[in-house]
Amino acid sequence: MTEMLDKAMARAVEALRRHPSRAVKLFHHNDADGLSSAAILSCALDRTGFSVARVGLEKPYPPVLARIFQERGAVLIFADFAGRIAPRLAALNAGRNLVLILDHHPALPVTDPGVHHLNPELFGFRGDRDVSASTTCFRFADILDPVNHDLAYLAVTGAVGDGFYVNGRLAGLNRRAAVAAAEQGQLVIRPRIDGEDYDLQMAAHRGPVKDLAADLDVLGGMGFFQGGPEAGIRVCLEGFDADARRLRTHLADWRKALYRAEIERLQAGGLAATGRVQWFSVAGRFEGVGVKIIGDFCRFIRHRDFVDPCGYIAGFQPVPDHVPGLGPIGHDAVKVSMRVPPLLEGWIRAGRMPGLDRLLPEATEAVGGFVDACHSLAAATTVPPGRESRLIEALARLIPDQPERTA
């Protein structure tokens, strides 16, 4: 698996080096994994002599893609999304640009030689267990130039941010990145009874990796419209300065107030149930923050006692018609994010209940929505406004009444 992935990355590196343009347009996700990925690629490409223009995206919405692929003769890189829609990117590109996709979500292959789909899912790895987008980007950067081996700590940061562990430990390629960081003195791996803890030991970063990842999630999600993603990338590479600390504190306080008020509303009967799906909409109450936050909120409540431990969680948030760096995008949609409580997570991991990567794409496509990045335990899509109830009904029809019996 690893050899085939590395060969594909080596071919992409060769295509990048041969390309006449020294300018790269990098489109990346805005969570800890996406910001770590962007930091890795920005640093590695800069070291190789490329200039990098970055745009943080919450999702590669269709009108955004249409605008991006007006380019000709460009180098376009997508990090931490676009794996599932790679064929759409290839069709839009029509051979005009060099395209690299560095993702870890369930993916579809492409045959266009101008589109290098470097998703480990296509090479036998699991993106919700073995490899994050940041680890994918780190592996690419290491092949681009071994000097980039010093970016291993950022691969670990993104992996911890996504939170996909095996028995409380990073696994697969994520584990290799952690070992690489530890061997360079960047990271200390601390065993515990139920897994491992990961602590950074660097001049710019000291303390638990999970704390840095949490800060990046706040900056990128809550601060999506306030320069948070760019601040997060700088933090990845340089550490916190006074301005970044002030922004993080402001955003964290804002999130705390939003979450407290929304939990009170859900506890007062705001959490609806249709079959095995429990769902809610924040309507305009999360206005001013990125739609990544609805997923973070679903994750935040999945342990709460007002949540059915056997039910899938779905939250809706309207998508703003504006992307920093791009302006108005003409996209009228509602985002749905889904998470699962711990008991249901165990059933999904054991194969006794279907994962979100199977359920949400099928239900979304049934109501005319847009599907990209979905994992088995965390997933998000968008649907046209007014179709939220139809989506929930479609989900409920797909979910069995009871988990399958174990052998």
Looking at the 3D structure of the chain, how many domains does it have? 2
Three-state DSSP class for 171?
coil
A 10 A CB-CB count for 238 gives 12
On whether both 62 and 194 belong to a single domain, the answer is yes
Count the residues in the chain: 407
Question: Do 312 and 290 form a contact (C-beta atoms < 8 A)?
Answer: no
Q: Model-level pTM greater than 0.85?
A: yes
In a domain, 248, yes or no: no
Look up residue 218 and give its DSSP letter: I
Name the domain boundary from 210, 230, 246: 210
Which residues, in sequence order, are CB contacts of 211 under 8 Å at separation 6+? none
User: Which of 175, 210, 245 lies at the terminal end of a domain, its last residue?
Assistant: 210
| Pairing assessment for the beta strands 378-383 and 370-374 based on DSSP bridges | antiparallel
pLDDT in tens, 327-346: 998 889 999 999 999 999 99
59 and 187 inside one domain:
yes
Query: Quick one: which of 403, 397, 309, 402 has its CA closest to 352?
Result: 403
What pLDDT band is residue 406 in, cutting at 50, 70 and 90? low
Q: Are residues 43 and 129 in the same domain?
A: yes
Range of the domain at 95: 2-210
374 within a domain of the structure (yes/no): yes
- Residue 345: which of 376, 371, 306, 304 has the closest Cα? 376
Position 407 scores a pLDDT of 55
State pLDDT tens for residues 182-221. Answer: 999 999 999 999 999 999 999 999 999 999 999 999 999 9
Query: How far apart are alpha carbons 155 and 153 in whole angstroms?
Result: 5
Same domain, yes or no, for 275 and 191?
no
In a domain, 81, yes or no: yes
CATH value at residue 280: 3.10.310.40
pLDDT at 348 over 90: yes
Residue 240 near residue 203, CB atoms below 8 Å: no
Q: Is residue 129 part of a domain?
A: yes
Radius of gyration of the chain (CA): 20
With contact defined as beta carbons under 8 Å apart, do 156 and 177 qualify? yes
**178 in Cβ contact with 170 (< 8 Å):** yes
Q: What is the CATH number of the domain that holds 123?
A: 3.90.1640.30
In-domain check, residue 406: no
